[in-house]
A and B are shown apart, each in its own frame.
Chain A
Amino acid sequence: MSEAGFDPTAPLTASGNLRRRRVVSRIAEVGATGAAIAAVAVLGIVTYTVLSRGAKAISLDFLFTGEPTGIGPAILGTGLIVLVATAIAMPIGVLTAIYLTESSGSRVSRVVRSTLDLMNGLPSIIVGLFLFVLLVKPTQTLSGFAGALALAIIELPLIARGSQEVLLLVPNSLREASDALGVSRWRSVLTVILPTALGGIVTSTVLAVARAAGETAPLLLLTPAPVGNSFNFNIFEALPSIPFTIFTLSEEANPEGFTRAWGASLVLLSAILFASLGARALLARSRARMAR
């Protein structure tokens, strides 16, 4: 309707472009659906490629022995580094989350929350550079421990924010009931609030582990070790890792190396996808239970 000729008394008639509007709407719907399908397709293509090319490399020898045939030491290295990282990041992350929920609204907790978000956005290579000046340069030794610390810094905001979200879901009636019984704060946190939120806390930790296990940039700077032949349990030496192995093999133009890299990718990707799928299922369940 043009402004000049608008007449409120005129009978209501279709402006004639309804068909066009419907078509536009339909096109938009198809476009949105197509975009979603495309994203899932990319996931499918990447997973399928890794699966089909990696399956050729997988064997017991590949998983459990060292250099010429397998990547066993790298699997062990990644396991150790991630374990230490999580052992450091999880307590700190959960305590931070408790602080954020129990004293939410204060200025300090607002600062902490936005700091965590900034940390989450920190490029992982920056974290690597940081620990290089802090640990590697003064001691002149590359170490898995430095890598673990870097991964801990990457995990920390994920665990803290994830746990905080779950802690906020804990029904207030539980807190109030505990207060009404005269239970002190620390007892009710330890015996009521944390157990209720445990499922969610574990979930966010697993998701953080899944994210950290695939990080390459900090490991490239801090613990770049070839796969080697021996299984090394000493975290204070340079440890091999799966992501770093994939990275080095991918930079060499060697078809045999590529096959090994696909195999390593398959190991890493399946571990990560299983972990995050499982964690998500767990989260959905514990959320549903808490909402009841």
Chain B
Amino acid sequence: MSGTTVNQAYVAGGDPRRNARSAKRLHRIDRIGDGLLFGLCAFAALLSVVILLLVSYQIVHGASPSISEFGLGFLTHTTWQPNFNVYGAGTLIFGTVVSSFVALAIAGPIAVSIGLFLSLLAPKGVRGVISPLVEMLAAIPSVILGFWGILVLAPFVQSDIEPWLHDTLGFIPLFGPPQTTGASVFTASLILTIMIIPIVASISRDLFLSVPHEMQDGASALGATRWEVVRGVVLPTTASGVTAASLLGLGRALGEAIAVTQVIGAGSEIHANLFETGDTLAARIANQFPGAITEMHIASLYYLGVILLVIGLLSNFLAQWIGRRFDYSRNVAK
């Protein structure tokens, strides 16, 4: 008896109709699973696009009272007086641009040199140590860097670097007489420099590593020294990438709020002298937003956000465009 049941069960398991049914069920599950996975993934991917659009919309929306009140004149107007409900971003745009460009001017050459060192000069073991250390520099939170900036860097800059620069290069109006505190646009630029360097250095290292060895060896075989190989082969082939990397660094510097707030001194006037206090768009928002009460004050801070958003998106867009447009590996490798 029991033998037959087993046998029947075996036969039933092998029933071709049943098999076809379970295969169909499996097929259906797989179809649903595929659809579900694709749907979820597409949803997640599109979510980021939605978020970015929503961010832009909400920031502009928040700024709308100020935009309709001040219009484009806001960009050039230089008084910012919450007590009188008069707002203008001129000083802040000036401060943002100056501090970021000074930072980029210092950081760019240093970062590219680091990239060259890591890709072409350093032996593999040294590269393996220095590379992560340089990237670690980017991991320091900006608030800690800013705190270090006020207590350690600023006094040193004020007592040593600024007087020295004023004495040697004082004929350039940028390097005017130092102020009594170390809080200045120049100190902010130095802090931003520290933030930009790891970004630009690690991207340019990867770029330099991707330059074909045949080209470098060819130049060396023609008698070029190491520096001539860099100047004649490595830098020209990667110029667009390095530019894109610098733009990314610039974008980071333009948008940095906390560290700059801590060291720039919240000045409200435009000075040619880098050693005076100043203020930037992001720093002003960080500084005044928590205490802002009147509607126009908040809206004007949002207006600053709009400007910041536009500048930030533009620099990133430009970086992407240059990176893609002049990507030599795509144009040459073909």
Q: List residues of A whose CB falls within 8 A of some B CB.
A: 21-22, 24-25, 27-29, 31-36, 38-40, 42-43, 45-46, 49-50, 91-93, 95-96, 98-100, 102, 108-109, 111-112, 114-119, 121-127, 129-130, 132-134, 153, 156-157, 160, 184-187, 189-190, 210-211, 213-217, 220-221, 224, 243, 246-247, 250-251, 258, 261-262, 265, 268-269, 272-273, 276-277, 280
Contact = CB atoms under 8 A, between A and B. Distances in A.
Contact of A221 (B33, B198, B290): B290
Interface stretch (B143-151, B161-169, B325-333): B143-151
A273 B254 CA distance: 25
Interface residues of B, number: 89
Contacts of B48: 92, 96, 112, 115-116, 119, 156-157, 160
8 contacts: A28-B227, A28-B230, A121-B313, A129-B301, A133-B59, A221-B290, A265-B147, A272-B140
Given A121-B316, A272-B141, 16 more contacts: A36-B113, A39-B198, A46-B148, A108-B45, A122-B312, A126-B59, A127-B55, A130-B55, A157-B48, A221-B289, A247-B146, A250-B146, A250-B262, A265-B144, A272-B139, A277-B132
Given A35-B117, A184-B33, A124 B197 contact: no
A92 B46 CA distance: 10
The interface centre, meaning the residue of A45, A211, A217 with most chain B CB atoms within 10 A of its CB, is A217
B130 A125 contact: no
A22 B252 CA distance: 37
Interface of B: 30, 33-34, 36-38, 40-49, 51-52, 54-55, 58-59, 61-62, 109-111, 113-114, 116-118, 121-122, 130, 132-137, 139-148, 150-152, 194, 197-198, 201, 225-228, 230, 248, 251-252, 254-258, 262, 282, 285-286, 289-290, 301-302, 305, 308-309, 312-313, 315-317, 319-320
Contacts of A210: 139
A29 B230 CA distance: 10
Given A25-B228, A123-B312, A269 B132 contact: no
A130 B58 contact: yes
A185 B40 CA distance: 14
Contacts of A215: 141
